Amino acid sequence: MAGGPGRTHVSLAAIDDATGRIVAAVFRPQEDTEGYFLLTRQMIEREGIPMSIYSDRHMIFRSPHDKLTIEQELAGESKPLSQFGQALRDLGIEHIQAHTPQAKGRIERLFETLQDRWIVELRLRGVDSIEEANRVLPELIEEHNKAFAVEPTDPHSAFVPLEQNQPDLDLILCYRHWRTLGTGQTLSFDHKTYAIAEGSQKSVIPPIPPKTRVEVRQTLDGRLFVWYKGKAYALKEIPKPKRQAAPSKQKAGSERKPHKPDENHPWRKPLFNPKEAPETARCSQTAPS
């Protein structure tokens, strides 16, 4: 699985190693995680879940972090995973990363072919936008497979059909974020406040405890869900709670009236009363004769 650049777009494609068939392809403005989510969904819906995929070491396929987060450690993960890597883990797909372009072999040769043929085909069809290119892409894939695909040595398919009891692909091929659930079953996400929608917790008793670290899953169409213990709870945006201004604290005694001592208060008495002073002896001095 890899991306090949065109003149004004990027083509992402997945090829079956056993037959050389293109099992999924999509045109994108650039090579990004969303593009590989769309590519993987297309492959699963058309063929099933593969046992493993082979890719290069683009940052889309590997985490930029060297250490596990607390949530990853608690989940028992052995290494940090990218957004795309987490989706592959949930689908049970083994991810093998090539260290050199030459190691990818067949997919590299595929893109050499596609760059020569598909660009010409798109021009002949007068395609001048990615939207139009994706509309004619199934036809291009079919023509390529008829011309280049071979019969497998083992007729048994290694793709596993998607079972009905598996989680919705929208909630697997999505972006994941961690948040702390506040009181009132609310959380903050992207500068907005969300609450668990009514009815989402009817099957759960008791509800998710406050201050629980929960995974927020954001689907490609922008919907938000809390993923907790294998279940999804829809989130709805609510108005931000208004912050109440804290009562101003005044200095102690700032509003006290001045205290006036009583008439007989000791402070009103003078420190020295001449009437109560002791008599002093007068001293006289005579000059010696």
Checking if the pLDDT of 89 tops 50, the result is yes
pTM of the predicted protein model = 0.75
Q: pLDDT of 151-166, one tens digit each? A: 888 888 889 988 777 7
Q: pLDDT of 227-262, one tens digit each? A: 998 889 999 999 987 776 666 666 555 566 677 777
Q: What is the DSSP string of 34-53?
A: HHHHHHHHHHHHHT-B-SEE
Checking if the pLDDT of 2 tops 90, the result is no
Distance CA 1, CA 52 (A): 11
Instruction: Match 């102690």 to its residue by tokens.
Output: 252
Q: pLDDT of 78-88, one tens digit each? A: 678 899 999 99
99, amino acid identity = H
What's the number of CA atoms in the CB half-sphere (13 Å) around residue 4?
21
Q: What is the pLDDT of residue 3?
A: 47
**Residue 82 in tokens:** 């990218």
Coil, helix or strand at residue 265: coil
Are 178 and 71 in contact by the 8 Å Cβ rule? The answer is: yes
Classify each residue of 9-35 as buried b or exposed e, where b means 16 or more C-beta atoms within 10 Å of its C-beta: bbbbbbbbeebbbbbbbbbbeebebbb
pLDDT bracket for residue 207 (50, 70, 90) = confident
Q: What is the pLDDT of residue 183?
A: 83
Mean pLDDT: which of 66-70, 155-159, 194-198, 282-286 is highest?
A: 194-198
Distance CA 51, CA 61 (A): 17
Residue of 204, 161, 196, 203 whose CA lies nearest to 49 = 161
Residue extents of the structural domains in the chain: 2-148, 174-238
Q: What is the pLDDT of residue 109?
A: 76
Q: Which of 17-31, 53-67, 198-212 has the lowest mean pLDDT?
A: 198-212
Q: What is the pLDDT of residue 69?
A: 67
- Residue bearing the bigger pLDDT, 71 or 198: 198
Q: What is the pLDDT of residue 119?
A: 86
Percentage of the chain beyond pLDDT 70 is 73
Distance CA 132, CA 139 (A): 12
Look over the chain and give the mean of its residue pLDDT values, rounded to a whole number. Answer: 81
Are 232 and 225 in contact by the 8 Å Cβ rule? The answer is: yes
Q: What is the pLDDT of residue 276?
A: 57
Q: Please count the other Cβ atoms lying within 10 Å of the Cβ belonging to residue 280.
A: 6
Q: What is the pLDDT of residue 240?
A: 84
Mean pLDDT: which of 4-8, 34-38, 57-61 is highest?
A: 34-38
Q: pLDDT of 255-275, one tens digit each? A: 666 777 777 777 667 666 656
Looking at the chain, the number of H-run helices and the number of E-run strands are: 6, 11
Checking if the pLDDT of 210 tops 60, the result is yes
* 2-148: CATH class: alpha beta
